């Protein structure tokens, strides 16, 4: 019989996509008040991997990847996804179209998990309409994409961003400043 142990806390990460830098900064400030200090913010990146969001949010989309200093319990990802969906709704246009997309997830030594409202074969149900998307696995000294990993997350540049966040996370677990 296996011994039940609590999972180590995880590193909260998010992707923020919008067409306005001012909006990205405003929402990031709100998220920081809610989830704690941001300890990593990527350079502002063009979101040009797909046109999936253009119809709703317009062209010229920009993205930040961020991580937060306070570690989270993994099961809190459901609550966090529901809260970020509410924030998206608060910033939506009058017709309901989003102006910002917020994708929360968590990073551990082993993998990157994103929260989603979309079911699929590789997405276990977490509860309250939220699924877990196993996006990247850490093996052999690097994050590795899976057959279903979105092309942007599979790219070398994004995987390097998450490798750096992983190093911060491991330093935190060791009690270092990171």
Query: At 65, which CATH number?
Result: 3.30.70
| Per-residue confidence band for 50, with pLDDT thresholds at 50, 70 and 90 | confident
Average pLDDT of 82-92?
97
Residues 6+ apart with CB under 8 A from 177: 171
| Per-residue confidence band for 177, with pLDDT thresholds at 50, 70 and 90 | low
> Does 79 fall in a domain?
yes
- State whether residue 174 is helix, strand or coil: coil
**Range in 30-34, 46-50, 163-167 the model is least confident about:** 46-50
pLDDT over 70, % of the chain: 99
Split into its structural domains, the chain has a count of: 1
What residue numbers bound the domain in which 153 lies?
10-173
> Does 2 fall in a domain?
no
| Per-residue pLDDT at 128 | 97
Tell me if 118 sits within 8 A of 131, measured CB to CB: yes
Please say if the pLDDT value at position 80 is more than 80: yes
Cα dist. 63→11, 15, 89, 102, 132 in Å?
Answer: 19, 7, 18, 10, 21
| Per-residue confidence band for 172, with pLDDT thresholds at 50, 70 and 90 | very high
Please say if the pLDDT value at position 178 is more than 60: no
CA gap 166, 160 in Å, rounded: 10
> Does 5 fall in a domain?
no
What integer best gives the mean pLDDT of the chain?
A: 95
């Amino acid at each position: 019989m296996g011994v039940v142990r609590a999972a180590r806390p995880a590193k909260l990460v998010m992707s923020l996509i919008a067409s306005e830098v001012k909006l990205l900064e405003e929402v990031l400030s709100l998220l920081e008040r809610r989830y704690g200090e941001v300890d990593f913010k990527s350079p502002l990146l063009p979101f040009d991997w797909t046109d999936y969001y253009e119809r709703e949010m317009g062209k010229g989309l920009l993205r930040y990847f961020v991580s937060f200093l306070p570690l989270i319990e993994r099961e809190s990802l459901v609550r966090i996804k529901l809260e970020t969906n509410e924030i998206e709704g608060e910033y939506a246009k009058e017709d309901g179209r989003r102006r910002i997309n917020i994708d929360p997830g968590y990073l551990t030594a082993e993998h990157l998990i994103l929260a989603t409202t979309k079911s699929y074969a590789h997405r276990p149900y977490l509860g309250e309409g939220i699924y877990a998307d196993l996006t990247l696995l850490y093996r052999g000294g690097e994050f590795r994409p899976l057959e279903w990993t979105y092309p942007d997350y599979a790219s070398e540049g994004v995987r390097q961003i998450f490798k750096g966040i992983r190093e911060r996370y491991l330093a935190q677990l060791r009690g270092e400043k990171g």
